[in-house]
Amino acid sequence: MVNLLFPFSSSSPWLSEIKAQQCPPKISEWLYDQQSLTKKLEGLCQNFHVQVKQQIIVAGESSLSNYFSPDRKRLVREVFLYCDDRPFVFAQTEIPISTLTEQQAQLSEIGTQSLGKILFNDPSMKRGQIEVAKFTDKLALALLSPPIQDNYDHPLWARRSLFYLNSKPLLVSELFLPASTIYST
């Protein structure tokens, strides 16, 4: 059974280059960090692992970004990044099928490997501008499976950016879940 895709849509409140104007400094540091999120999370915990929620091929899906034409097929991978058995980040990757050629074909078969490790170890990788969004709709967040177990009374922050491998694009969106240390003071 296929789960619904998390709504990281073009209608989400994505903002670019707002930095500290809209969010606390500690959150801003995490959102605009250009380094590997995987590496940063691995440094925070004893046990880091990736759990795949789903990986599907879509076309015409309205809940996705407007970076890629909706009539073109894309591979969408949704995963949870865990630190010490707690979900810290929910990530959704949108990869046009045209990107999955030559060396990049491996991206469709990484399973529970960290995409971040693959991206940041590729010498051809270039990263586009980081956009951020604040999510306050707990109903949309309830669609996540496993559901968010933590009680929280603050918005959740997300970031997204295009990555290019050998000039071929893919979009990575990351939602920092309540257990994430980005919210601790």
pLDDT per residue as tens digits for the range 17-74: 655 456 788 898 999 999 999 999 999 999 999 999 999 998 876 667 888 887 789 9
Written as six digits, the tokens of 159 are 């970031």
Per-residue pLDDT band for 1 (boundaries 50, 70, 90) equals: very low
- Mean pLDDT of the chain, nearest integer: 85
Residue 15 has pLDDT above 60, yes or no: yes
Range of the domain at 48: 27-183
How far, in Å, CA of 174 to CA of 24, rounded? 18
Specify if 5 maps to a domain.
Answer: no
Specify if 20 maps to a domain.
Answer: no
Specify if 149 maps to a domain.
Answer: yes
Q: What is the CATH number of the domain that holds 60?
A: 3.40.1410.10
Specify if 47 maps to a domain.
Answer: yes
* Buried/exposed 74-113: b ≥16 CB within 10 Å, e otherwise: bbbbbbbbbbeeebbbbbbbbbbeebbeeebeebeebeee
> How much is the pLDDT for 168?
96
Specify if 9 maps to a domain.
Answer: no
Specify if 11 maps to a domain.
Answer: no
Specify if 125 maps to a domain.
Answer: yes
Predicted TM-score (pTM) of the model is 0.89
pLDDT tens by residue, 98-131 = 999 998 999 999 999 999 999 999 999 999 999 9
Q: Are strands 86-96 and 126-127 parallel, antiparallel or unpaired?
A: unpaired
Specify if 119 maps to a domain.
Answer: yes
Q: What is the number of structural domains in the chain? A: 1
